Amino acid sequence: MSFMQRIIDFFSRKSTVTKGGGDKAISKQKAGGKMTARERIAALLDEGSFHEYDLFVEHKCQDFGMGDKELAADGVVTGSGTIAGRPVCIYAQDFTVAGGSLGLMHARKITKVMDHAIKMGVPIIGINDSGGARIQEGVNSLAGYGEIFYRNTLASGVVPQISVILGPCAGGAVYSPALTDFVFVVDQISKMFITGPEVVKTVLGEEISMEDLGGARVQAETAGNAHFFANSELECFEQIRTLVGFLPDNSRNKPAIIEQKRPKASYKIEELIPKDSKIPFDVRDIVRAIVDDSEFFEVQELFAPNAIIGFGRINGETVGIIGNQALFLAGVLDIDASDKIARFIRFCDAFNIPLLTLMDIPGYLPGSDQEHNGVIRHGAKVLYAYSEASVPKITVILRKAYGGGYIAMCSHHLRADFVFAWPTAEIAVMGPEGAANIIFRSEIMAADNPEEMRKLKVKEYTDKFANPYVAASSGYVDAVITPEETRAAIAHALQLTRNKQEARPDRKHGVPPF
């Protein structure tokens, strides 16, 4: 073969493989409103930045007539590229090739690019669109999944791991996304479940659609497995690019500090708090009044809305923000909110992102469903995660700070580096009504007019304890500040804690209440 022939031969081979499953399969993929694997990568990464590896990998299966079957790139596209100029590793399963089914070589391509990401210290993004295990390959296909899960665990807390569900992701396959840091779903396109609707029907007699069992909305709103919900694949890619912008490349680095901006003038912090402490406000507005350009990038917006988590910047520096949201369930901690908060804290701690906690908590959610489903062990995760975190921890007590909830939401006692409280803060064992009913029970019962006496005692308790000064008198609050001073106080605290070092007892690892 002449040089020219070799070049022509190469392009011919390449073009065959990059066609994936061929025209028919591709038009079927598009008819379902989905992009192809290569289109997705091109749309997500910086234009023209993608470099593909292992294009010519082939499966080795000889059984069940697989010997003479060619599967382009073995059904997965792998490589690296950049997002806003920063390198990332990426893979995308190609549903047009044998339904994106996972065989041994398919899995090896994925684990190879994962190993690459870990070694190079760059984020890894996985786009899932697969019918599941390639049955013909038997246990080798299961081995492939196992190798991926093992690497997800190795990479955890080393490089940011992002999973994008753009098609089915069922059975054991769901555990790779579940082990990663952030899961992105798209309405009507993403489907995740351990067992599908057919099995559910056979075993339990329950009729449920795929969408209702494990569609994007269910995963983002009810199950909490997904962190970001989008209406289109392009919107989803925009979300991923925004997220990556807040993160460092790996756990050895800090997120980049970008040019600082003032919050938008339309968010006037002093006007956002209602006069009556029983009327809720949107804590996200407080966040927007504090962070650069009023830009708050919320994580798990639809799940457990009684707590909010997300990223913002203060003086150009990425901050992980956690807040109690009085708008929903009065901002209580419950099982879902605890899980949501605890996981986020651990992510931020692993990737050197300071934690800002906005406290407005009336306590925990009462009820048999909460108790029986383990609110004790789930709630304990929040205490563990905050105590364990060694990144800068800054807490602002906005209003309510009652009982166990006060301790849990990054109080001085769990080693917050700075606890600020607004003059509206109420730091006490419980709300004035509950407390007065207990402390003054006999006096209230003995009174000629118990209701009058109750009101009197509630007022007495409120005047004495529903303020920040009792806690401040013991040094549990470092400074009482006005809402207007909040941003400056946090910015200074971040500056001061930048080189924070905190020694921990030597151990293999802790045993959090998973």
Partner 1 sequence: MSEQQFCEIALEGGTYETRLTKKFTQRKPYEKDDPRVIKALIPGVIAEIDTQVGKAVKKGDTLMILEAMKMLNRIKAPQDGTVKAIGVAGGDKVTKGQVLIEIE
Enumerate binding residues for partner 1 (CB under 8 A): 203-205, 221-222, 278-280, 304-306, 326-332, 336, 362-363, 365-369, 372, 400, 402-403, 430-435
Distances in Å between the Cα of 305 and the Cα atoms of 282, 340, 407 are: 11, 10, 21
CB of 335 to partner 1, least distance (A): 10
In b/e form, how buried is each residue of 215-231, taking b as 16+ CB within 10 angstroms?
bbbbbbbeebbbbbbbe
CB of 384 to partner 1, least distance (A): 23
Residue 74 Cβ, how far from partner 1 at the closest point, in Å?
Answer: 36
Inter-residue contact 360 to 331 (CB < 8 Å): yes
CA distances from 210 to 29, 172, 174, 228, 282 (A): 18, 17, 15, 19, 34
**Which tokens go with 287?**
């966040």
Nearest CB to partner 1, comparing residues 319 and 326: 326
CA distance 76 to 156: 22
User: Residue 486 Cβ, how far from partner 1 at the closest point, in Å?
Assistant: 23
Sign of the C-alpha dihedral, residues 325, 328, 331, 336?
A: negative
Neighbours of 51 (CB within 10 A): 11
SS3 509: coil
Angle of helix 486-496 versus helix 283-290 axis, rounded to 10: 60
400, amino acid identity: K
Give me the least distance between CB of 468 and partner 1, in Å please. 17
- Smallest gap from Cβ 203 to partner 1, in A, equals 7
Residue 222 or 232 with smaller CB distance to partner 1? 222
Nearer to partner 1, 5 or 266 (CB): 266
Which two tokens mark 262? 């003032």
Residue 82 or 195 having the CB closest to partner 1: 195
Least distance in angstroms from the C-beta of 332 to partner 1: 7
Per-residue tokens: 60: 């080795």
Closer residue to partner 1 (CB): 41 or 333: 333
Angle of the 37-44 helix axis to the 233-246 helix axis, nearest 10:
40
Of the candidates 206, 205, 207, 144, which has an alpha carbon nearest to the alpha carbon of residue 171? 144
- The nearest distance, CB 428 to partner 1, in angstroms, is 8
Task: Give the H/E segment covering residue 185.
Answer: strand 182-186
Give whichever of 179 and 330 is closer to partner 1, judged by the CB atom.
330
Of the pair 297, 465, the CB lying nearest partner 1 is at 465
Nearer to partner 1, 314 or 335 (CB): 335
